[in-house]
Amino acid sequence: MNTTGLVKYAGAMGALAILSGCGGALRQGQDDMAVAPSTAALNVAYVGRTLSVNGRPITAARLSPLPSYAAILPDRHTKSKTFEYVINYYGTYASIFDYPKSDQEIGMIKGLGGQGCTNVLYGYGKKIFWNVAGQNQIEEFRVEKKLIKTLSVAYSFPSSCAMNTSGDLAVGILSASGPGAGDVVIFKNASGSGTAYATPLDEEFFDGYDNEGNLFADGFAGGSSTGFALVELPKGSTKFETIKTSNTVEFPGSVQWDGTYLTVFDQDTNEMYQYTVSGTTATLKGTVTFSGSSDCAQTWIVQGLVYCGDAGNGNGEVFNYPAGGSPVATFTGQFDVPLGVVAAEK
């Protein structure tokens, strides 16, 4: 049975904080100026177990009680080669960071939202990243923030993306009803109109390739968004099949290869499960527990670290991987319902 609730978020709280900087000028240009979060009046409802915000389904399990307000930071003109993007609610912006050089926001890209992916299975993407959001928004950016390509799907609410080592782009469809619900659209060489593949999922939340070119996706299946499911499109196949996990996963989270295992994050338990997959069975080999996070709506693994876009805490966090535990850093900046995170290098 569907359960629907409505939460009205409070209005804006106070003025933007201005951090003084010795010898540092404030950021210039529309893309770099702080903007007030758009979440001052969110309409939030649950349809089954899926969150809907302002009438749009999202892949987070829960939200922070209030948005995090912006600070206008000094212009830093970074020379860093690695960047992290915390991607916020649809149509807002992505906040840019250059950790480990700093944990402070260094810029933003307006108009983004949702999830991100890049052209490596794990680690820092090579010069580019993709953003999937909006009613029909699939965009490729060159690091740090130059838009270089757009693609589209014929279905509402694309929710996720993943790339294989050949450069193909897989985009998942979240919508629980209507054409394309739960499908995955694959763009060969990240171009063209894409080919849609039906999955056993009612709603597709996250997807990821392994090192052999097999594509995995998770979400809800079984009607009314009631049950977690993991599915696989084996390399060379045209049909997704259901994968049974040896443990129980409560709420779908990021699916990503970590260099050794296929990982699935559980947004309810704040744990990342490491699997080996044989046939249609995923066998649990390890569990990484994160403390201090509320809801990592998307995670991204690099060597030795995992980044979290935390919709529950309303920020971005950095954890050791595979050790887990408490955050080793918390990003400082502007957040408006973080839904995604991805890392790339120049």
pLDDT digits (tens, 9 = 90+) for 273-304: 999 999 999 999 999 999 999 999 999 999 99
| Closest CA relative to residue 277, chosen from 321, 244, 313 | 244
* pLDDT value of residue 37: 45
* pLDDT value of residue 94: 97
CATH 2.120.10.30: does it fit domain 76-345?
yes
Instruction: Name residues whose C-beta falls within 8 Å of residue 26's C-beta, 6 or more positions apart in sequence.
Output: 72, 74, 75
Q: What is the pLDDT of residues 18-66, one digit of tens each?
A: 223 333 332 233 344 444 444 456 787 877 788 778 777 788 888 765 5
- pTM assigned to the model: 0.85
* pLDDT value of residue 16: 25
Q: What is the pLDDT of residues 165-200, one digit of tens each?
A: 999 999 999 976 777 889 999 999 999 999 999 999
Q: What is the pLDDT of residues 206-234, one digit of tens each?
A: 999 999 999 999 999 986 557 999 999 99
- The neighbour count for residue 261, using CB atoms within 10 Å, is 20
Comparing 11-25, 130-144, 238-252, 313-327, the range with the smallest average pLDDT is 11-25
Comparing 63-77, 116-130, 209-223, the range with the smallest average pLDDT is 63-77
Tell me: pLDDT of 258 over 90. Answer: yes
